[in-house]
Chain A
Amino acid sequence: VQVVQSGAEEKKPGASVKVSCKVSGYSLTEVSIHWVRQAPGRGLEYMGSFDPEDGEIINAQKLQGRITLTGDTSTDTAYMEVTSLRSEDTAVYYCATATKIEVPAVDSWFDPWGQGTLVTVSS
């Protein structure tokens, strides 16, 4: 079971970024996908969740309107796009999977995690 993310990105303020998250060892529809970011020297911040099986999305209130979560079940890859980037969006972005077997979505734990994708927003 592995989760591999796309590489580092450098963007200018106002631009958009799309990070990919490929799962292997199981089908994307067997898990839920969760996105978490960590600004330099800061703690973990939950961004949102996506269920590839039914398309259900939960977005953190702070990022409402700027984040889009999608998935491609043919390639077992999930995506997170953040628009209207600001300097404070500079962070390492992680995706993680969660089992759906006998676990309600609200009680999900995140395991395994991807290696992280550094997104730098600077003019």
Chain B
Amino acid sequence: QSVLTQPPSVSGAPGQRVTISCAGSSSNIGANYDVHWYQQLPGTAPKLLIYGDTNRPSGVPDRFSGSKSGTSASLAITGLQAEDEADYYCQSYDSSLSGHVFGDGTKVTVL
């Protein structure tokens, strides 16, 4: 069990909006460390989706957006597409563990 808690799964129909939460504590997200998000398609390496809480790397569609408030962060996917079906992970730094940490991951299913 990670110190960053994500729901195991979320689902939505094509075109809908889904959000993935990443709940932390005062030693990680609440300490204002940046939150980053990764997408992992089956059988592939993770790919950076959002960095520095809200920033999209070049090439990432603007359907993906990140936010952070207090001890939690969220990833939103609007206009859900079949190709968005993947596992999504949040990542931050934890001062109690003195290292980076990942959330447990959330599987997104497109109905």
Contact = CB atoms under 8 A, between A and B. Distances in A.
Given A107-B34, A109-B34, A109-B36, A46 B105 contact: no
B102 A45 contact: yes
A6 interface: no
Given A107-B52, A107-B93, A110-B36, A48 B105 contact: no
Residues of A contacting B: mostly: mixed
Interface residues of A, number: 24
Interface residues of B, number: 26
B99 A111 contact: no
Given A43-B105, A44-B89, A107-B93, A94 B45 contact: yes
A60 interface: yes
Q: Most B CB atoms within 10 A — which of A113, A114, A116?
A: A113
Interface in A71-89: none
Interface string A11-54: 00000000000000000000000101000000111101100000
Interface of A: 34, 36, 43-46, 48-49, 58-61, 94, 106-116
6 tightest CB-CB pairs across the interface, nearest first?
A: A111-B48, A109-B51, A107-B34, A43-B105, A109-B36, A113-B45
